[in-house]
Structure 1
Amino acid sequence: MNEREFAELAAGHALDALSDADQRRFIDALESHPEWAAIAADDAETANLMADAVSAVEPPASIREALLVQIAKGQTQGPAPGPTLASGPAPATDAEPAHARAPRRWSRGLFALAASVVLIVGLGVGAAVLIPQLMRPASVIALEQIEAAPDAQQASVELDSGLQATAHWAESEGNAVLVAEGLDALDDEQTYQLWFVRGEQPVPAGLFETDGGNATALLDGPMRAGDVIAVTVEPAGGSPTGLPTTDPIIVIPTA
């Protein structure tokens, strides 16, 4: 772990927003790098200032929605040519959405945004109300938006290993969320990587971690009609080539 990655964890720790796995990573990193203690201390002080800045009141709906939009925004990645991923199990439809505990992903930039907003005392937005809204993962927000959309769709697969995965998407929302249960724990040298597969073209769609074998992951970039959603196990940091380096463990056609 480098100092920048530790700083991301420190921001989440200051706001009590880390998953159990990330909390362990934070503690281990701090023990290995005591010189980083100042980063954690600064973030803890900032969080305390936010909590004490103003009294807790209900924020105006317009401010809340604007902040949630900022959280839910993803970065679109360009397509990279490559081979077709191996086919996977046929999707099964399910009227009830699958749910899983979402891994905590706290952006240090979002931590700074929270501090800036709370310091605008004139808005009358209490930290006790604002911070929990900011702490909600983008994947959870996106899943709620998809499920509320009139054109919401989903497809599921269940493997012999017990792994279950459901892809949720809505054309009106333009994005997709994968909810999975029963994923294997990976060591620090590996990570799960998401892909949109368009014909013979895999498009990287972000990395995600698990929490007790469960994950709720928002795919980076807009989804297109007919995309196949896939997951591979890649080296830490993602595929070095921009193409899958292993066979997919999850393949969910959406058409």
Structure 2
Amino acid sequence: MIAERLSSRVVRAVVVVLLVVVIAFPLYWLVISSLKPSTLLGEVSLIPSQLTLDNYRAALAGPIPGWMLNTIGIALCTTALGVTVASLAAFGFARYRFRGRTILFGIVLASLAIPEYALVLPQFTIMRQFGLLNTWAAVILPLAANALVLFLLRQYFAQLPEELFDAARLDGAGELRLFWTVAVPLVRPGLGAAALLLFLNAWNAYLLPLVMLTSSDQFTMPIGLAFLHSQLNFSIVEESPWGAITAGTVISTVPLIVCLLVMQRHFIGGLTAGAVKS
């Protein structure tokens, strides 16, 4: 019996170690490549023969810091707007009975099946009509309308007991006060999970910023790094930007890693709690 338990633990440990190696190896290779001189980027070795910080100096001396600020600004604004709009809509779907509610919520869920590529053209047309192309708003507004976040928050609001709202109404609380003082404090884990989903989605967005942003000083990190790669392909630059690209990619992943490490407990707890009907 003891031998069986020990062997099962060993197997689990081996599987976990293998998964960690498979998942972490690309990140390790990226970091090591960012520390190699440009002439050694093609070298295949786990431990490079020479390390340098020149790639990071080149990255920080170019447009990458500006692209990073654009990405941070768009991600934060998208998160704030998306959480605000989705929480209000989710509260309405969860707590109020009105004609067409089921149909409207079904449309919201159906929108999850529409691929991003099919939405870009109508979104581009709308933003052009409003004169918002090549602005943050052209990226923030479509990204903030996230059906998955609305669905997640709706599940949270739906499991709150009605007696809390009835008691607050007896005390003279209005509907907005019910939302702000009663519902929001009770769904903070869900709001944290929703905020993280919106932030990650906005940070990693590629297709929408590619279509909406035309000026290089408005680029986000994914678009900017792809722009450097395109310059290399078309021989626009004399010196290879691969060193700056690898260093910029590492720089762009640092905020995400820090955010996930800080918020992982709230994120996991928010997703699991919202999935259980009390």
Q: Say yes or no: TM over 0.5.
A: no
| Bigger strand share | 1
| TM-score range for the pair, normalised by the shorter chain length | under 0.3
TM-score (norm 2): 0.26
**Structure showing greater Rg:** 2
Q: Which has the higher contact order (CA 8 A, sep 6+)?
A: 2
| Bigger helix share | 2
TM-score (norm 1): 0.28
